[in-house]
């Protein structure tokens, strides 16, 4: 088989789990000699993508699948031309709108298309539109596979988000702590996410829980990393809490590209999906809750169950609530499990989610998809 040349396709390169995952894929693929280019819209992570040395092509993808035929034709022609110039042998899409256009361009170019679905929050009709012209599908978790199984009769590969465990590893935090005026012995809880929709609601529940937790942990500080349409509402709530507590202990950092520095600062991280995995790679104890509900404290005994629901983001047995977040954070603090549990969690991430291991089944899928596609073309 001739060498593989991959084109990754994303709507934008904003700071988010999907984009961070693609960044790690690009690094690992290139380290193994697989040519990888990226076509995407704007985004604050473009600068980090450039550092990998990959070829970047910027294109303004539509925000929805419904666009007029003239606009779609222009996009398709541009992509087909790009595929030819870059001599691409496989296209890999990661988001619905750009994936839909890219799949059509791949078909016009007689090139196989792989699509990775990163969550269960997309409309089923949109998922169907992309999967019907997809040659191979990837789900990032078991619940996502179950979600798309009815729409894709072929085999669906489960390939988890890989974590760069060299980048996400334990590190000192004294300098950042001083910069943020957080006392050396203060207890720090971190929340990292886009502050929109379900994730914004979790952030609100956490802040309310920490208002109550402040009575149990007087030296408590809370850090909110992220941006989004509901950040102003969250800040207003925090201001009200500060007024009633007569102390400012909730810190907002906005969007951060080097979030690992903030993980290092935290005693406990509240998060889901990729955030949970990154935090555990940094040896941080984690309370997981996400789009679909609440999982709770992650430890070596329940790590497999936590992964199976993708830490509350793709499945859950119970709803998130202020009371349950407060209870589990208080229990974590009282148990003083921090360092030992953090080390155990990092070992599990190294074993199951290290990007250097995760990339291997993806490369195998690339090779088998190209081979099957070429065999089918020969038959036709």
List pLDDT tens digits, range 184-197.
999 999 999 999 99
Q: For residue 86, which of 71, 69, 104, 106 has the smallest C-alpha distance?
A: 106
| Cβ-proximal residues to 342 (8 Å cutoff; 6+ apart), any chain | 170, 280, 282, 283, 284, 285
Across the chain, what does the average pLDDT equal? 94
Q: Identify the three-state secondary structure at position 34.
A: coil
Rounded Cα–Cα distance for residues 10 and 94 (Å): 6
Q: For residue 67, which of 98, 27, 90, 95 has the smallest C-alpha distance?
A: 98
Q: Are the beta carbons of 277 and 353 closer than 8 angstroms? A: yes
Rounded Cα–Cα distance for residues 54 and 48 (Å): 11
Query: pLDDT tens digits, the chain, 380 residues: what are they?
Result: 579 999 999 999 998 889 999 999 999 999 999 999 999 999 989 999 999 999 999 999 998 888 888 989 999 999 999 999 999 999 999 999 999 999 999 999 999 999 999 998 888 999 999 999 999 999 999 999 999 999 998 999 999 999 999 999 999 888 999 999 999 999 999 999 999 999 999 999 999 999 999 999 999 999 999 999 999 999 999 999 999 999 999 999 999 988 999 999 999 999 999 999 999 999 999 999 998 999 999 999 999 999 999 999 998 989 999 999 999 999 988 886 656 788 999 999 999 999 999 999 999 999 999 999 999 888 87
CB contact burial 306-326 (16+ within 10 A = b; e otherwise): bbebbbbbbbbeeebebebbb
pTM of this prediction? 0.92
Tokens 């984690």 map to which residue? 286
Beta bridge partners of 188: 221
Which uninterrupted H or E stretch holds 271?
strand 268-271
């Amino acid at each position: 088989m001739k060498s593989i040349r991959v084109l990754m396709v994303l709507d934008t390169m904003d700071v988010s789990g999907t984009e961070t995952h693609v960044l790690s894929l690009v690094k690992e693929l290139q380290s193994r000699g697989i040519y990888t280019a990226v076509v995407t819209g704007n985004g604050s992570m473009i600068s980090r993508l450039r550092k990998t040395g990959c070829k970047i092509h910027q294109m303004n993808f539509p925000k929805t699948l419904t666009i007029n035929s003239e606009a779609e034709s222009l996009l398709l022609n541009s992509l087909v031309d790009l595929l030819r110039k870059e001599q691409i042998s496989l296209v890999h899409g990661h988001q619905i709108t750009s994936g839909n256009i890219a799949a059509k361009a791949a078909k016009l170019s007689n090139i196989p298309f792989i699509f990775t679905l990163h969550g269960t929050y997309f409309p089923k009709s949109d998922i169907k539109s992309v999967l019907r012209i997809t040659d191979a599908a990837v789900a990032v978790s078991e619940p996502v596979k179950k979600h798309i199984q009815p729409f894709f009769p072929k085999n669906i590969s489960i390939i988890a988000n890989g974590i760069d465990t060299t980048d996400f590893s334990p590190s000192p935090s004294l300098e950042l702590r001083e910069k943020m005026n957080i006392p050396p012995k203060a207890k720090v809880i971190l929340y990292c996410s886009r502050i929109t929709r379900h994730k914004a609601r979790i952030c609100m529940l956490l802040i309310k829980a920490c208002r109550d937790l402040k009575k149990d942990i007087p030296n408590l500080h809370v850090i909110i990393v992220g941006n989004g349409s509901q950040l102003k509402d969250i800040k207003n709530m925090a201001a009200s809490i500060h007024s009633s507590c007569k102390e400012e202990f909730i810190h907002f950092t906005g969007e951060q590209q080097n979030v690992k520095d903030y993980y290092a600062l935290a005693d406990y991280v509240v998060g889901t999906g990729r955030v949970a995995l990154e935090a555990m790679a940094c040896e941080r104890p984690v309370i997981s809750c996400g789009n679909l509900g609440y999982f709770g404290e992650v430890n070596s005994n329940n790590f497999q169950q936590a992964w199976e629901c993708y830490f509350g983001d793709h499945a859950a047995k119970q709803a998130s609530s202020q009371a349950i977040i407060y209870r589990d954070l208080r229990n974590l603090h009282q148990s003083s499990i921090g360092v030992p549990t953090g080390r155990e969690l990092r070992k599990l991430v190294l074993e199951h989610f290290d990007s250097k291991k995760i990339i291997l089944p993806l490369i195998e899928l690339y090779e088998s998809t190209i081979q099957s596609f070429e065999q089918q073309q020969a038959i036709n």
